[in-house]
C-alpha cells in the first residue's frame, strides 16, 4: 500500500518548516508568493491530500452534520434525510445518520459519541421513550457545549433551539373536515398515546374538526395505541386492536389515522370484515409514503413534505454554524449575543386518492 505523503516530508524535501508548508498550502499571504507556489506545486506533484480529521481537530470544525432519527422503517424519515443530504452536499457538508430505535439510552449514547469531535451540529427527531420520560438533559448539555441542534417533527418547548415542523393540528382539522364534507357521520381516530407530541396535536385537530362541524366526538371511536410496543414488528397486535374498534362501532363510516401504517392496516382489517372502501368506509392517513401509494385502494393522505423539512432543517443548522464562525471571526462577546431561534412551520396538503369519495 502506497504511503501517505505528509507535511513533514514536504518540509524536509524543500528545506522549510512544517508550519511554512501548512500556511502555504492554505494559501496564506504570510508566505511569499514564490515560496507558496513552489510548495503548492511540489505538493500537487506528490499528490498530497490533507488529513481532514487532523484539520478538523485543529480548527474545531468537521464540516459534518449528525442526523439522529427514531426509526428507519417509516418513509417520512427517509425523505427528511434526502432533503438534508441535498442541502448539505450543496453547501459543502457531509452527513452522518444515527438511529435511536425509539430508545432514550441509545439516543443519549449516539449524541455523546457524535458530539465528541465527530460533528459540528445535530438535526434530530426525538425518540418516543425520551418524550415519555420528559428527560431532555442531553439536548441542553449538547447545546451548552456550543454544538447547535435543529429539531424536526417531534419537538419540545423545553429545549431552546431551531425547529422545523408541519402544522399537525391544522392538517388534521383539514383531513377530518374532508371526511365530514364527504358525508361521514361516525369517524374513528387511530392515534398514539398523548406523550408523543405529533399524535397529541393530530388528536386535538380531530376533536376540533368534529366540534366545528357539530359532529359528536364519540369516545368509543378513538383508539390510542402504545407505540412503545413496536407495532411494525407486531402487526397482529395492531390488526387485533383495529378490529376491536370496528366491531364495537358497527356504524363507523370514516377513519382518520395519524400515520400511514395505521391507515393502511385499518383498510386491510375493514376489507376483511366486509367493508367496501370508499363506499362503506372512507380512510385518510398522515404521511405520503410507499404504503400509501401502493395500497389497494390507494390511500388519501395528509402530506408532510418530508424533503422540504430536511432541506429547511439543514439550511437552518448550516446558517447557524456559519453565523457562529462569522461572529467568532469578529470577536463578538458570547455574553452579549442574544440567541434568536426560529420555529419554521411547513404547510400540509391533502392528496386525494381512492380511499375517499
Q: Per residue in 51-82, pLDDT tens?
A: 654 555 445 688 999 999 999 878 899 999 99
Domain boundaries, the chain: 7-50, 60-165+306-331+339-346, 168-304
The better pLDDT of the pair 20, 30 is held by 20
CB contact at 8 A, 199 and 234? no
Strand, coil or helix: what is 187? Answer: strand
Q: Report d(CA 53, CA 67) in Å as an integer.
A: 19
Which of 40-49, 174-183, 312-321 has the weakest average pLDDT? 40-49
Q: Kindly report the number of other CB atoms within 10 A of residue 174's CB atom.
A: 17
Q: Report d(CA 189, CA 221) in Å as an integer.
A: 6
Q: Report d(CA 259, CA 341) in Å as an integer.
A: 29
Q: Report d(CA 297, CA 202) in Å as an integer.
A: 24
Is residue 9 pLDDT above 90, yes or no? no
CB contact at 8 A, 73 and 55? no
Q: What is the pLDDT of residue 320?
A: 94
User: Could you read off the pLDDT of 264-277 as tens digits, one per residue?
Assistant: 999 999 999 999 99
Strand, coil or helix: what is 30? Answer: coil
CA atoms in the 13 A half-sphere facing the CB of 79: 15
Q: Report d(CA 356, CA 298) in Å as an integer.
A: 9
- Choose which CATH entry (3.40.50.300, 3.40.50.2300, 3.30.420.40, 2.60.40.790) describes domain 60-165+306-331+339-346: 3.40.50.2300
CA atoms in the 13 A half-sphere facing the CB of 94: 10
Is residue 83 pLDDT above 60, yes or no? yes
* Unique residue bearing C-alpha cell 431561534: 341
Average pLDDT over residues 122-144: 94
Q: Report d(CA 256, CA 240) in Å as an integer.
A: 18
Mention the CATH class of domain 168-304. Answer: alpha beta
Domains 60-165+306-331+339-346 and 168-304 share a fold: yes
Q: What is the pLDDT of residue 2?
A: 53
User: Could you read off the pLDDT of 317-357 as tens digits, one per residue?
Assistant: 999 998 865 555 444 444 434 568 999 999 999 999 999 99
Nearest Cα residue to 65 out of 98, 105, 100, 101: 98
Average pLDDT over residues 298-303: 97
CB contact at 8 A, 146 and 161? no
The share of the chain scoring above pLDDT 90, in percent, equals: 71
Amino acid at each position: 500500500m502506497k504511503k501517505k505523503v505528509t507535511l513533514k516530508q514536504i518540509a524536509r524535501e524543500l528545506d522549510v518548516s512544517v508550519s511554512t508548508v501548512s500556511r502555504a498550502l492554505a494559501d496564506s499571504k504570510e508566505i511569499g508568493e514564490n515560496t507558496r507556489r513552489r510548495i503548492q506545486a511540489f505538493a500537487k506533484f506528490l499528490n498530497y491530500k490533507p488529513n481532514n480529521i487532523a484539520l478538523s481537530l485543529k480548527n474545531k470544525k468537521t464540516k459534518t452534520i449528525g442526523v439522529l432519527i427514531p426509526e428507519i422503517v417509516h418513509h417520512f424519515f427517509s425523505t427528511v434525510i434526502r432533503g438534508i443530504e441535498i442541502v448539505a452536499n450543496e453547501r459543502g457538508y457531509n452527513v452522518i445518520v444515527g438511529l435511536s430505535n425509539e430508545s432514550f439510552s441509545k439516543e443519549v449514547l449516539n449524541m455523546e459519541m457524535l458530539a465528541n469531535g465527530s460533528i459540528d451540529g445535530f438535526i434530530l427527531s426525538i425518540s418516543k421513550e425520551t418524550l415519555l420520560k420528559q428527560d431532555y438533559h442531553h439536548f441542553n448539555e449538547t447545546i451548552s457545549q456550543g454544538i447547535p441542534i435543529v429539531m424536526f417533527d417531534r419537538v419540545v418547548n423545553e429545549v431552546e433551539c431551531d425547529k422545523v415542523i408541519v402544522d399537525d393540528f391544522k392538517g388534521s382539522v383539514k383531513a377530518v373536515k374532508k371526511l365530514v364534507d364527504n358525508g361521514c357521520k361516525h369517524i374513528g381516530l387511530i392515534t398514539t398515546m398523548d406523550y408523543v407530541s405529533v399524535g397529541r396535536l393530530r388528536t386535538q385537530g380531530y376533536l376540533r374538526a368534529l366540534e366545528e362541524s357539530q359532529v359528536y366526538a364519540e369516545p368509543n371511536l378513538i383508539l390510542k395505541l402504545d407505540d412503545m410496543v413496536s407495532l411494525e414488528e407486531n402487526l397482529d397486535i395492531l390488526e387485533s386492536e383495529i378490529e376491536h374498534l370496528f366491531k364495537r362501532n358497527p356504524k363507523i363510516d370514516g377513519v382518520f389515522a395519524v400515520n400511514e401504517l395505521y391507515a393502511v392496516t385499518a383498510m386491510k382489517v375493514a376489507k376483511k370484515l366486509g367493508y367496501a372502501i370508499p363506499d362503506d368506509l372512507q380512510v385518510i392517513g398522515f404521511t405520503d409514503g410507499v404504503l400509501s401509494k401502493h395500497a389497494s385502494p390507494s390511500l388519501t393522505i395528509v402530506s408532510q413534505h418530508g424533503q422540504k423539512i430536511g432541506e429547511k432543517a439543514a439550511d437552518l443548522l448550516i446558517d447557524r454554524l456559519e453565523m457562529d464562525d462569522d461572529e467568532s471571526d469578529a470577536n463578538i462577546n458570547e455574553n452579549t449575543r442574544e440567541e434568536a431561534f426560529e420555529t419554521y412551520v411547513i404547510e400540509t396538503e391533502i392528496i386525494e386518492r381512492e380511499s375517499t369519495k
